[in-house]
A and B are shown apart, each in its own frame.
Chain A
Amino acid sequence: SQKIEQNSEALNIQEGKTATLTCNYTNYSPAYLQWYRQDPGRGPVFLLLIRENEKEKRKERLKVTFDTTLKQSLFHITASQPADSATYLCALVRGGGNKLTFGTGTQLKVEL
């Protein structure tokens, strides 16, 4: 079965810096990869989707990369703000499949 690894330790960064979160996967290559944001006591909120034939996707201050050779996706938040503090989840869809598999998420804390 697919295994997704996200850094379980919280990432603390200073306001204004770029936050980089990692999502590594094993076994099969996903056709799609999604990133979600989850605040305490709330459900996840969709942020970005990137396909296997795309290297990079951007949305405002967010950037996602997808390296099928390294089996890794990186999620970047530039000019980070305290309001970006949350847990970020990556989720994969297997090629030919129709089910999202989620990672455990990485907690980001942006400090003043």
Chain B
Amino acid sequence: ETGVTQTPRHLVMGMTNKKSLKCEQHLGHNAMYWYKQSAKKPLELMFVYSLEERVENNSVPSRFSPECPNSSHLFLHLHTLQPEDSALYLCASSQKQGIEKLFFGSGTQLSVL
């Protein structure tokens, strides 16, 4: 157990659905991240939050909407997704934003039909 918990582990949704991914870290870290991992591609950084403020939005489409209500919780709200958005979505945290080592959750495997 890495101290970062993601739910759900698996999610199947239609293109018109609205769903949310949840991440919770129990490590007392100040930075949280959303990554997308597609087959045969490197991890893609989507969003970075430091002390609950968004500090990075890596040109992610608006159908992905992050929310960080406090330093322990991170959400990714999904709306009107496309089949190409199917991927493993990973949450990570670090002591502070920057070059610190990352602690990842197990991810949510998302399938968009």
Co-complex (A, B): yes
- Does A77 interact with chain B (Cβ within 8 Å)? no
Kindly supply a per-residue 1/0 record for chain A positions 68-112, scoring 1 wherever the CB is within 8 Å of any chain B CB and 0 otherwise: 000000000000000000000101010001111111110000000
Which has the most chain A C-beta neighbours within 10 Å: B56, B102, B106?
A: B102
B104–A45 contact, CB under 8 A?
A: yes
Q: Is the CB of A46 within 8 A of B101?
A: yes
Q: Does A21 interact with chain B (Cβ within 8 Å)?
A: no
- The answer to whether A100 touches B56 (Cβ under 8 A) is no
Which of B14-22, B35-43, B69-77, B78-86 lies at the interface? B35-43
- Is the C-beta of A16 less than 8 angstroms from some C-beta in chain B? no
Which of these, A41, A49, A98, A101, contacts B97 with CB under 8 Å?
A98
Supplied contacts A41-B107, A44-B104, A46-B103, 8 more A-B pairs, CB within 8 Å: A4-B42, A32-B99, A43-B4, A43-B90, A89-B43, A91-B43, A98-B98, A102-B43
Contacts A32-B99, A46-B102 hold; do A8 and B40 have CB atoms under 8 A apart?
Answer: yes
* A42 touching B106, Cβ below 8 Å: yes
The answer to whether A41 and B98 have CB atoms under 8 Å apart is no
A32 to chain B: which residues have CB within 8 Å? 99
Q: Are B99 and A43 in contact (CB under 8 A)?
A: no
A: number of interface residues (CB 8 Å): 25
Chain B residues engaging chain A, CB cutoff 8 angstroms: 2, 4, 40-43, 45, 56, 90-92, 97-99, 101-107, 109
CB nearest to A90 among chain B residues: B42
* Residue numbers in B under 8 Å from A103 (CB-CB): 42
A-B contact pairs, 25 of them (CB 8 A): A8-B40, A34-B101, A42-B107, A43-B4, A43-B105, A43-B107, A44-B90, A44-B102, A46-B101, A46-B102, A46-B103, A49-B101, A91-B43, A93-B99, A97-B99, A98-B99, A99-B56, A100-B45, A100-B99, A100-B102, A101-B42, A102-B43, A103-B42, A104-B42, A105-B42
